[in-house]
Amino acid sequence: MASTINNIIQFEPPAQLLCPQPTEQRQLQRDEARLLVTNGAGQIYHDKFQNFDRYLAPGSVLVVNTSATLPAAFPLKLPDGQPGMLHLSTRFAALEWLIEIRSIEKHKTTRWQGGMAGMRFSLPGNVEIVLKERFYKDRSLLHLWLATLHLDEDPISYMNKYGQPIKYVRPDQPYPLSYYQTAFSFQPGSSEMPSAGRGFTEPLLQKLIRRGVRIVPILLHTGVSSLEEDEKPYPEYLEIDPLSALQLNTAKEDGRRVIAVGTTAVRAIESATNDEGRVEAFRGYTNLFIDETYRMQIVNGLLTGFHEPRASHLHMLQSLAGEEHIGRAYDAAIAGQYYWHEFGDLHLIL
């Protein structure tokens, strides 16, 4: 049973639910993933994602992230000679990046805690990266570093040439980059896939459009996803154009539901909302951390995957739906054997 400690849902999903293969490896269409639907009335529905359109009323707004995933992982050697992986997370300036270094142990990567300012690491293509300073001052938090990366070519070109998609288990056996793109992927910039959008297919999108659902694009480039307990999100780049802002404001004024596809879309929308509760056109970085005390201003529905125990994303889910709703949903997900992680099943919270 899910419980709550320090205002965050606690649960332990069975190990067999944590690392599903991509639908492509399971001979499934992407929209054949399972869908759990929960609402504020306490109702729970078990379905396939290809029936997602049945749960949205005409005029509902579906907000999708158009960021495309980059091959942001690179092999390197740690100072003791052991193999490791470098994950490029977020580009802050021409030469400055937010990065994570992980060691490889028994076919999975774990946090590497041996970094020191000034350390240099060699990357493929005779490229060097230099650790500048810790991003978090608290050494117990996620070991992200600000680092200097000198490249003689465009970073995206370099990543496409030498990188591979970030993968925390069996990094030596990466899946094709196409597995990490969604139907909305258009603007390269995410270190990891905005995975809530992975289940959408053209036939499903056509059903949604014909039903009268409004699909509104936004952009948020995601960084690494390895946040753990009490680790607040770091800055991420987002864009919301004037037309998307107008559609969101009009939906709110009309009382129509605004459903974000993924926590990235929630963070983008709420970051661009002003003190009067209106979304403004926005281009820049957000530091917004949505916890259970935050009151959603625009979003009142969310399509998301299933998040790790004690993950910071669970704070956001509780802000949207409340502790009881999310606890009940996660009990249902575990009992129903839903899959976790980016290739797993989906949860529609209304």
- Token pair, residue 21, equals 């293969």
β 61-65/214-220 pair status? parallel
The pLDDT tens digits of the residues spanning 168-222 come to: 988 888 899 999 999 999 999 999 999 999 999 999 999 999 999 999 999 999 9
The model's pLDDT over 88-146, given as tens digits with 9 standing for 90+, comes to 999 998 899 999 999 998 889 998 989 999 999 999 999 999 999 998 776 666 678 99
* Residue among 213, 303, 203 at smallest CA distance from 260: 303
Task: Note the helical H segments in the chain.
Answer: 155-162, 202-211, 242-254, 263-271, 313-321, 323-335
Task: For residue 299, give the nearest of 286, 314, 316 by alpha carbon.
Answer: 316
Measure the CA–CA gap between 166 and 205, rounded to whole angstroms: 28
Query: For residue 123, what pLDDT is reported?
Result: 95
- What is the pTM for the complete model shown? 0.92
Integer Cα distance of 193 and 175 in angstroms = 13
> Which positions ≥6 away from 286 have C-beta within 8 Å?
220, 235, 236, 238, 267, 268, 271
Q: What is the pLDDT of residue 5?
A: 42
| Cα–Cα distance, 261 to 331 (Å, whole number) | 22
pLDDT digits (tens, 9 = 90+) for 140-171: 666 789 999 999 999 999 999 999 999 998 88
Query: Which residue would you say has higher pLDDT here, 248 or 4?
Result: 248
- Strands 67-69 and 187-190, by their bridges, are parallel
Give counts: helices (H), strands (E), the chain: 6, 20
Q: How far apart are CA 268 and CA 240, in angstroms?
A: 8
Q: What is the pLDDT of residue 107?
A: 86
